[in-house]
Structures are given as structure tokens and as C-alpha cells.
């Protein structure tokens, strides 16, 4: 019988989550774009336009790093920069339609890999995962909140 609150559950879960993510990443690689670019595009895709400084904060990188990263993405047409009309020191960075396509593409390739793996599972295993998904979401939001403790 499994003891829910044991460190074994936490350690087993940590290990499995880590391997699942890394395997998924390996299964559907980013291809042309780097990990830093992929993360930047996903943020701009999900959050919408933002200032350079907010982008740097959310990506946990420094401003000069953000400048260089965004410059590269602009050169490739995946991101665009506009002066902020309310503050002439600032710039607003946005994902382009081409950038949206790049994010959607990688996500759908990863979804396909997960769909295939789920289809190969037993019905019992598949439904166990379906029933745990809300609990995993709950755990994720709690972990996220510890960040700003």
C-alpha cells in the first residue's frame, strides 16, 4: 500500500516529472530555434506584448541579455519591436504571426507525441492520468506561488 504523504511519493514524482519533460523535449526538439528563443517566444505568445524590462524579469535574465535575444528574434522575423507611445525610453516587444506559428508548431508536435503515448497506455493507466490532471495543475500552481514566498 502506497503512503501518499511519504517522501518516496515526492521523490518518485520529481524523478518521473523530470524525465517526462526531458524525454518530451528530446522527442520533439525545437529545431531551428534555440532553447532561449523558444522560451522567449512561448512567453510572448501566451502573455502578449511587453516591455523589454518586464520580459527580462519574466525570463529571469538581465537586460543586456534580453536585448541581444530579442534582436536575434527580430532578425529572424519572429518578434517585432515598437517604441512605447507612453514612454519614449521604453520599447514594446511582440511576437509576430510567424513567431506564433513557430510556437504552435512545436507545441502541436509535442502534443502529438503525448497523444501517441497516451493511446498506447492501458485504459486504466490513461484514466488514472486523466483523473490526476486537475491535481497536477493544483500542485503546479502551489509550487509557482512558493516562488514569490
Partner DNA sequence: TATTGTTATACTCTATAACTATA
Partner DNA sequence: TATAGTTATAGAGTATAACAATA
Radius of gyration of the chain (CA): 19
For residue 33, the 8-state DSSP code is S
Only one of the segments 5-13, 30-38, 109-117, 126-134 lies at the binding site for DNA (rule: CB under 7 A); that segment is: 30-38
For residue 78, the 8-state DSSP code is S
For residue 131, the minimal CB distance to DNA (Å) is 36
Nearest to 93 by CA among 43, 130, 22, 138: 43
Residue 91 in contact with DNA, rule: CB under 7 A: yes
Residue 29 in contact with DNA, rule: CB under 7 A: no
Only one of the segments 8-16, 21-29, 45-53, 114-122 lies at the binding site for DNA (rule: CB under 7 A); that segment is: 45-53
Instruction: Give 90's Cβ-side CA count (13 Å radius).
Output: 13
Nearest to 33 by CA among 67, 60, 73, 65: 73
Separation between Cα atoms, residue 106 and residue 22, nearest integer Å: 15
Residue 49 in contact with DNA, rule: CB under 7 A: no
For residue 59, the minimal CB distance to a second copy (Å) is 11
Say which entry of a second copy, DNA, none residue 67 contacts (CB below 5 to 8 A, set by partner kind).
DNA
Residue 63 in contact with DNA, rule: CB under 7 A: yes
Which residue ranges make up the site for a second copy (CB under 8 A)?
2, 4-5, 7, 9-14, 16-24, 26-27, 60, 107, 110-140, 142-144, 146-147
Q: Which residues lie across from 82 on neighbouring strands?
A: 92
For residue 56, the minimal CB distance to DNA (Å) is 7
Phi, psi of 77 (to 5 degrees): 75, 15
Residues making contact with DNA (CB under 7 A): 34, 36-37, 51-54, 59-70, 72, 81, 84, 87-91
Amino acid at each position: 500500500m502506497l503512503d501518499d504523504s511519504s517522501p518516496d511519493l515526492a521523490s518518485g514524482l520529481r524523478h518521473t516529472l523530470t524525465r517526462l519533460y526531458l524525454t518530451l523535449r528530446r522527442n520533439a526538439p525545437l529545431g531551428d530555434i534555440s532553447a532561449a528563443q523558444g522560451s522567449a517566444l512561448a512567453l510572448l505568445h501566451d502573455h502578449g506584448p511587453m516591455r523589454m524590462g518586464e520580459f527580462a524579469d519574466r525570463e529571469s535574465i538581465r537586460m543586456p541579455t534580453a536585448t541581444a535575444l530579442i534582436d536575434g528574434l527580430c532578425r529572424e522575423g519572429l518578434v517585432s519591436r515598437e517604441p512605447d507611445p507612453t514612454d519614449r525610453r521604453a520599447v514594446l516587444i511582440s511576437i509576430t504571426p510567424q513567431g506564433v506559428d513557430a510556437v504552435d508548431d512545436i507545441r502541436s508536435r509535442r502534443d502529438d507525441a503525448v497523444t501517441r503515448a497516451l493511446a498506447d497506455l492501458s485504459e486504466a493507466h490513461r484514466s488514472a492520468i486523466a483523473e490526476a490532471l486537475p491535481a497536477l495543475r493544483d500542485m503546479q500552481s502551489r509550487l509557482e506561488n512558493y516562488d514569490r514566498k
